[in-house]
A and B are shown apart, each in its own frame.
Chain A
Amino acid sequence: MANGKNPKSSDRPIRVLLAKPAIDGHDRGVYVLARAFRDAGMEVIYPGLLPTPEEIIRIAIDEDVDVIAISLLNGSHVTIFKKVMELLKKNRVQGIAVVGGGIIPDADKPRLEKMGVSGNYGPGTPMSEIIAHIRKRAGEARSKRW
């Protein structure tokens, strides 16, 4: 950035908090995502295993992220995604988008969308599709903030 110029919102790389909020250690997928997001020029924050929904919200606020990307494999997505969304609302957080992924049956997707969790990608989704979606949601989130 040249001296004396104010940064535009689009100058900062997209910041993504990648989190697995369940009691679950299968982290192969998040490591692949983390690297793919970085290779796509995003900043990735990965807090390690077993963050609670409360911790996720706190880190998201402290780190000023654009997107929270949550992944769940163990069938508890409805309960846990809901908790994350409720906490966001409770903390009056605006301008952070939430996207989901993992083992999520098609039947549950409309419910998650309605809560505000978009994407909800399953195994085998091309990385480019996920990255494009995160860019889109990050853009929307920033327009609410800046």
Chain B
Amino acid sequence: MGISDLMASDKKESLSASYWGKKAKLLSARASKSGKKYAEWESKVLAPWIGRKPPNVGKIVYTDEDASGIDGEMPGVYPFTRGIYPNMYAGRPWTMRMFSGFGTPEDTNARLKYLLKHGETGLSIAFDEPTLYGVDCDSERAEGEIGKCGVNVTSLKDMEVLFDGIPLDRVSTSMTINAPAIILFSMYIVVAQKRGIKPESLSGTLQADILKEYIAQKEWFYPPEAHLRMIKDMMLYSVGKMPKWNYISVSGYHIREAGSTAAQELAFTLADGFHYVDIGIAAGLDVDDFAPRISFFFDSSMEMFEEIAKFRAARRIWATVMKEKYGAKNPKSLKLRFHAQTSGYTLTWQQPLNNISRTALEALYTVLGGAQSIHTNSYDEALALPTEEAAKVALRTQQIIAEEASVKDVVDPLGGSYYLESLTDRMELEAYEYFDRIGKMGGVLEAIKRGYLQSEIANASYERQMRLEHGEEVMVGVNKYREESERQINTLKVSMAAQRTQRRRLAGVRKSRSTSRVAESLARLRKAMVSDTANLMPYVMDAVSSYATIGEIVKVGRDVYGEWKEPKII
């Protein structure tokens, strides 16, 4: 399938728009019940109690009038609102996966080993901005940014050091790699192969969802169609060879962090997920062959019930649409597995120790919402990348929830709550309304190109900021309970030494590699990129094996596909 087919798959989306509309109508009918019981209670009980007519700010108690109920639904059973496994954490606790990376590959390698030693159960790697934007560490553009927001990886050599001494066949690794996903994924496979580990025994997850980059986090090299082709190639490669590999983690985290509401996060993320399903189908795969390995990544913010409802609604929508619209039959295709991270934007720069409480609450919501793996932010992350100490407190927070709070023993303990069920229904409805609007626009890709999703997020973010400015929403220590002088905390500083180390290593690589082998592999890659039909995976693996740098590989792509500038939304 080539780029033109990808465009066609997006057009086809608009033809099926009626599915979304019908669903939205159906759910909206369910939502508009009489509310007689509440009205009666409000006038006969509440009003006399407060001595006046109750203010019109929404219900303060929920009843069987509000919730459709989950009609005796059980966990591990379609549509999985209550959880994708029958026993959930009573069977196995979630994976504690701490996102980490800073400085040089040596620095990060030491941090990974430290976290594993303290009970972390899965790895998650953060790469720095030069790596994520395909800029070599010896480029002038990267000056001052090496290792600042994650670990720097410019060539295969860095990846070898990063995973040195870590048993790749026994840990699962998640990598946040978006735009350069195909390059870093290839490096990971090649590092494993060099150690005699076959791709099929690797397990892990690629945060490679490029659609949410155009929507929210804004890291890309090429126009969307080129990146989507690479996602298709990674999908085809993994489906055949790597049964334990989640080739894409469809991510709402960044959408939320960019300022969206919970309902927008839910809707835009699932819309992206369905787009990847369309790509797989257009590539000629059977939906049940590739859908089981699509995973998700959500934010967990401060508003408890809204967050839990969001997770539950996500599972219900995914299962329903996969079954009804895509005809999936494999139960695994219907189960939405997700990683959750506590919210970064709720952390405050002021009085940073308060962030421990925020993170603990947010992490609890993800557990009550049934996450498969969790990252907890460190209290110092509004200021810098976390110190070892702060990262340990964050990990311990998860361990406290898992082992002291007794929340693992009962599945979906809040299920059946009128309020939560009603919120879950409302989230579900809002998501379908967005799907309908996006479908009518011609699909998610078109909505991105028009800047529609980006504007929706920017509007929501501005509105929240104004509520904060006017004190209608509170952030403790920021717009209420402020302190004039605050005690400073220690923060991690990535020194310029990381840049020097990286540049020195790269100079060595440039000197020792075979220049002609690099040139040949890049020429083959260019040819494959020009062809619509080739799978790029083996060509990129060949290029990284020759120690071609990330910048060199991206340059080939830019020559072939061109660049991309975001649509103006202000």
Identify the A interface with B (CB < 8 A).
Answer: 22-28, 31-32, 34-36, 44, 46, 48-50, 52, 74-76, 78-80, 103, 105-106, 122-124, 126-128
Decide if B258 touches A28 in the complex (CB within 8 Å): yes
Chain A residues whose CB sits within 8 angstroms of the CB of B217 once the complex forms: 25-26
What separation, in Å, do the CA atoms of A44 and B568 have in the docked complex?
13
Identify the B interface with A (CB < 8 A).
Answer: 129-130, 132-133, 135, 141-145, 148-149, 213, 217-219, 257-259, 345, 348-350, 382-384, 458, 461-462, 465, 469, 475, 478-479, 488, 491, 494, 565-566, 568-570
Decide if B148 touches A74 in the complex (CB within 8 Å): yes
Whole-angstrom distance between the Cβ of A124 and the nearest chain B Cβ: 4
Chain A residues whose CB sits within 8 angstroms of the CB of B565 once the complex forms: 48
Decide if A24 touches B258 in the complex (CB within 8 Å): no
Q: Name the residue of chain B whose CB is nearest to the CB of A75.
A: B148
Highest count of chain B CB atoms <10 Å: which of A23, A27, A105, A128: A23
Chain B residues whose CB sits within 8 angstroms of the CB of A26 once the complex forms: 217-218, 257-258
Decide if A23 touches B142 in the complex (CB within 8 Å): yes
Decide if B461 touches A23 in the complex (CB within 8 Å): no
Closest 4 CB pairs of A and B: A79-B144, A25-B218, A76-B144, A75-B148
Known: A76-B145, A124-B478. A32 touches B133 (CB 8 A): no
Decide if B135 touches A23 in the complex (CB within 8 Å): yes
Q: Please, could you name 30 A-B residue pairs with CB atoms under 8 Å apart, sorted by A? A: A22-B145, A23-B133, A23-B145, A25-B219, A26-B218, A26-B258, A28-B257, A31-B458, A31-B569, A32-B465, A36-B462, A36-B465, A46-B570, A49-B218, A49-B566, A74-B129, A74-B145, A74-B148, A74-B149, A75-B145, A75-B384, A76-B148, A78-B144, A79-B143, A79-B144, A106-B488, A122-B349, A123-B349, A123-B382, A123-B478
Decide if A23 touches B130 in the complex (CB within 8 Å): yes
Decide if A123 touches B348 in the complex (CB within 8 Å): yes
Chain B residues whose CB sits within 8 angstroms of the CB of A105 once the complex forms: 383-384, 491
Whole-angstrom distance between the Cβ of B316 and the nearest chain A Cβ: 29
Whole-angstrom distance between the Cβ of A26 and the nearest chain B Cβ: 7
Which of B143, B348, B350, B570 has a CB less than 8 Å from the CB of A44? B570
Decide if A48 touches B568 in the complex (CB within 8 Å): yes
Decide if B462 touches A35 in the complex (CB within 8 Å): yes
Whole-angstrom distance between the Cβ of B150 and the nearest chain A Cβ: 10
Whole-angstrom distance between the Cβ of B132 and the nearest chain A Cβ: 8
Chain A residues whose CB sits within 8 angstroms of the CB of B148 once the complex forms: 74-76
Can you add 13 more A-B contacts, CB < 8 Å, to A23-B141, A36-B465, A75-B384? A23-B135, A24-B129, A25-B217, A28-B461, A31-B458, A74-B145, A75-B145, A75-B148, A78-B144, A103-B382, A105-B384, A123-B349, A124-B475
Q: Name the residue of chain A whose CB is nearest to the CB of B135.
A: A23
What separation, in Å, do the CA atoms of A49 and B458 have in the docked complex?
15
Highest count of chain A CB atoms <10 Å: which of B144, B218, B350, B568: B144
Known: A75-B384, A76-B144, A122-B349. A31 touches B462 (CB 8 A): yes
What separation, in Å, do the CA atoms of A123 and B461 have in the docked complex?
14
Whole-angstrom distance between the Cβ of A98 and the nearest chain B Cβ: 17
What separation, in Å, do the CA atoms of A70 and B130 have in the docked complex?
19
Decide if B465 touches A127 in the complex (CB within 8 Å): yes
